[in-house]
């Protein structure tokens, strides 16, 4: 059986659902998957508070922090939340701002922004899709074309198939590649709305090449012959993913001066790799998927980003929720045989860390997680997935 998309809750996209049966609307869907009903209600209240917080931080021009990616992430989180209907006007303003940032090459970003055109465009077209799929069809299609053209080509060595930030084309990475694959997958239905055949084929080829790049980021000797992958060192890393085939973000504290950095895997990139394989419709019995799920079982936690501790914790939680939703899993059995309902765990953890004003923030500020607006957008989206909401409904 082919793994289907994380859009078991995306049935309204006209795409195949990943789970065996389409999910009913939350809270029924979440309760049916073992989430405590009272927890679902608490999650809805928490989501309402976080949406209210995000809306309170929106600028007069419709943006959040005058930043395309943060605007897109915030708008998408609100647009797919339980309280989306009451913020119709504010979402329309966010949409208008994103449209002003659309460039002639199909990208949607502010020139000079360090986030770069690729990352910003990926976030933006998902926001456009969530808010007004039909009204923004041409912008989304243009953004999809831009993303496929931003991919590293066949003569770029280990960068082949990957995507970077785009501010310079020197390196690619799994974080940007996963956002590109997610954006192409989430917005795939626009290929049925008058897209040119060559664009449809370009997307198909881009996903196939991206999968090759993703594979090169996994420590899994049967499918990846890279030195870090086949090495016997760090057997606990088996099945996990690194940031790029030749780079990681995990600091090797045992490294001596002059020694090469060990390429260690970590949590957020492993979940990024897992969900990217699902988007690419890799089979359930594929050794790459099986190895990734084994890593998940061996390192299951919501308390930190495994391998990174508090760094990137909320990015990790969002990626975890998306990946496990994509995998159609209601529970994860860890290496000790303990069965975890990951939706309960994510909701409970977020509830315990939400501030009175509805926001979240990470005291460890790496990767901009000292910014409450960004972290709250991550967290609201995590709640949306954890409560099995219908995400990205066609409008």
Listed residue (263, 221, 217, 260) closest to 238, CA to CA: 221
Listed residue (85, 71, 149) closest to 113, CA to CA: 71
DSSP letter string over 143-156?
HHHHHHHTS--TTS
Listed residue (293, 173, 305, 174) closest to 250, CA to CA: 305
Span of 25-39, 294-308, 353-367 with lowest mean pLDDT: 25-39
For the chain, give the percent of residues with pLDDT over 70.
88
Confidence of residue 238 (pLDDT cuts 50, 70, 90): very high
Mean pLDDT, to the nearest integer, of 243-254?
A: 85
Q: Is residue 20 pLDDT above 80, yes or no?
A: no
Does the bond joining 381 to the residue before it have cis omega, within 30 degrees of 0?
A: no
CB under 8 A, 24+ apart: contacts of 356-364: 357/49, 357/53, 358/46, 358/48, 358/49, 358/50, 358/51, 358/52, 358/53, 359/50, 359/53, 360/50, 360/314, 362/310, 362/313, 362/314, 363/310, 364/309, 364/310, 364/311, 364/313
Residue 284: the pLDDT is 87
Helix (H, G, I), strand (E, B) or coil at 230: helix
Residue 8: the pLDDT is 35
Quick check: 371 and 389 in contact, CB under 8 A?
Answer: no
Q: How many Cβ atoms are within 10 Å of 76's Cβ, its own excluded?
A: 27
254 class by beta-carbon count within 10 Å (0-12 exposed, 13-18 middle, 19+ buried):
exposed
Nearest 5°: the CA angle 381, 152, 312 is: 30
Q: Is residue 131 pLDDT above 60, yes or no?
A: yes
* Distance in angstroms (rounded) separating the CA atoms of residues 258 and 375: 36
* Distance in angstroms (rounded) separating the CA atoms of residues 390 and 82: 10
Q: Is residue 129 pLDDT above 50, yes or no?
A: yes
Q: Considering all CA atoms of the chain, what is the largest pairwise distance in Å, rounded to the nearest integer? A: 57
Quick check: 239 and 294 in contact, CB under 8 A?
Answer: yes
* Distance in angstroms (rounded) separating the CA atoms of residues 80 and 128: 12
Q: Where are the domains of the chain?
A: 7-252+260-386
Who has greater pLDDT, 31 or 44?
44
What CATH architecture applies to the domain 7-252+260-386?
Alpha/alpha barrel (1.50)
């Amino acid at each position: 059986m082919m793994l289907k998309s994380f859009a078991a809750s995306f049935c309204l996209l006209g795409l195949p659902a990943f789970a065996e049966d389409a999910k009913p609307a939350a809270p029924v869907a979440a309760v049916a998957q073992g989430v405590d009903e009272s927890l679902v209600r608490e999650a809805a209240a928490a989501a309402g508070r976080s949406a209210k917080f995000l809306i309170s931080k929106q600028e007069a021009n419709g943006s959040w922090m005058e930043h395309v990616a943060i605007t897109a992430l915030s708008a998408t989180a609100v647009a797919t939340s339980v309280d989306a209907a009451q913020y119709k006007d504010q979402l329309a303003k966010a949409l208008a701002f994103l449209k002003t940032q659309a460039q002639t090459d199909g990208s949607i970003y502010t020139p000079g922004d360090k986030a770069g055109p690729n990352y910003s465009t990926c976030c933006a077209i998902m926001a456009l899709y969530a808010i007004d799929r039909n009204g923004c069809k041409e912008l989304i299609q243009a953004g999809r074309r831009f993303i496929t053209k931003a991919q590293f080509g066949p003569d770029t060595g280990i960068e082949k198939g990957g995507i970077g930030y785009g501010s310079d084309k020197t390196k690619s990475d799994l974080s940007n590649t996963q956002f590109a694959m997610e954006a192409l997958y989430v917005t795939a239905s626009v290929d049925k709305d008058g897209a040119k055949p060559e664009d449809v084929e370009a997307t198909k080829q881009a996903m196939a090449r991206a999968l090759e790049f993703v594979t090169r980021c996994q420590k899994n000797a049967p499918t990846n012959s890279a030195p870090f992958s086949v090495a016997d060192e760090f057997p606990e890393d088996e099945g996990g993913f690194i940031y790029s085939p030749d780079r990681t973000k995990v600091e090797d504290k045992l490294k001596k001066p002059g020694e090469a950095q060990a390429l260690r895997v970590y949590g957020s990139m492993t979940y990024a790799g897992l969900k990217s394989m699902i988007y690419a419709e890799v089979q359930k019995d594929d050794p790459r998927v099986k190895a990734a799920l084994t890593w998940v079982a061996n390192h299951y936690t919501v308390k930190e980003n495994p391998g990174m501790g508090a760094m990137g914790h909320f990015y990790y939680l969002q990626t975890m929720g998306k990946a496990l939703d994509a995998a159609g899993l209601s529970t994860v059995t860890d290496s000790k045989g303990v069965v975890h309902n990951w939706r309960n765990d994510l909701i409970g953890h977020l509830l315990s860390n939400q501030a009175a004003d509805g926001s979240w923030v990470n005291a460890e500020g790496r990767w901009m997680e000292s910014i409450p607006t960004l972290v709250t957008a991550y967290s609201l989206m995590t709640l949306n997935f954890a409560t099995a909401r219908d995400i990205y409904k066609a409008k």
